[in-house]
Amino acid sequence: MTPRTLVASDLDRTLIYSANALELTCADRDAPRLLSVENYRGRPQSFVTEAAAALLAALAADPRAVFVPTTTRTREQYLRIRLPGPPPRYAICANGGHLLVDGVSDPDWHRAVTRAIAAACAPLKEVRAHVAATADPAWLLRDRDAEGLFHYLVVDRERLPDAWPKALAEWAAPRGWTVSLQGRKLYVVPEPLTKSAAVAEVARRAGTGRVLTAGDSLLDRDLLLAGDAAWRPGHGELAGSGWTHPRVNGLDERGVSCGETILRALLAALPAAGPDDAAAPVPGPAAASPR
């Protein structure tokens, strides 16, 4: 049997999209129909196109692949999402701080991550104190800790001075922390907390061969570099900075339609089915979004 391929993809603004991130540039009458995949307080929050929903279901069910949602979201935020297709056996949350197996965090993995952070980084309370002392309430809307692993802020981008995230990054770097600005959220994350480390652990457990990855933000860079092949949307931090790598396919497409493009590319990159494989069919042109 052909060795399975691990497919690890970021979610927000890579496979699923909030209303503000859709970037629908066509006329309203030509817009694709959308499927809600997340509700929060009774309201839909994240969407995919109908075509992307069919592709996601095909990827999750394909015996050639181990599909692993890989997100900076906390466990609570991730578990609000209902992706099409069978539930993934593995998922990575909190930027690698939690490895979920059938929806439950693996305690040994979490302990190993927290030990690595404690050994290499200034404590989270020091980061919180610095943010509290330097952030301006004029642009700081909310600030939160993510499961005691990292800190993030929700900011007013129009009022946020360009110099503040840069100054925070300069302060954080010698203390073992990184800074990433994604839309209205600014993340302060310890350097040992990476998606790629958790992906390597899933690959070990699942006994997979090749690794395919996708993501859009600075926090996805190590994830993309961990892939034998990877895809990056035409939007997001990495595209905006012009970041490239020989193994990373930089797409020009932006917004929710890019989710379809990435999913088609991931499915097409799976190995051809061997004689003992029963690969799931890949939706073809007939599954395109209605126009």
pLDDT tens over the chain, length 291 residues:
678 999 999 999 999 999 999 999 999 999 999 999 999 999 999 999 999 999 999 999 999 999 999 999 999 999 999 999 999 999 999 999 999 999 999 999 999 999 999 999 999 999 999 999 999 999 999 999 999 999 999 999 999 999 999 999 999 999 999 999 988 899 999 999 999 999 999 999 999 989 999 999 999 999 999 999 999 999 999 999 999 999 999 999 999 999 999 999 999 999 987 666 554 444 543 333 332
d(CA 57, CA 262): 14
pTM score over 0.85: yes
122-190 matches 5-113+192-269 in CATH topology: no
Query: Per-domain residue ranges for the chain?
Result: 5-113+192-269, 122-190
287 Cβ contact partners less than 8 Å away, ≥ 6 residues apart = 50, 51, 54, 55
- Sheet of 17-18, strand order: 17-18, 43-49, 34-40
What is the 3-state secondary structure of 155-201? ECCCCCCCHHHHHHHHHHHHHCEEEEEECCEEEEEECCCCHHHHHHH
What is the fold of 5-113+192-269? Answer: Rossmann fold (3.40.50)
What is the fold of 122-190? Answer: Hypothetical Protein Ta0175; Chain: A, domain 2 (3.90.1070)
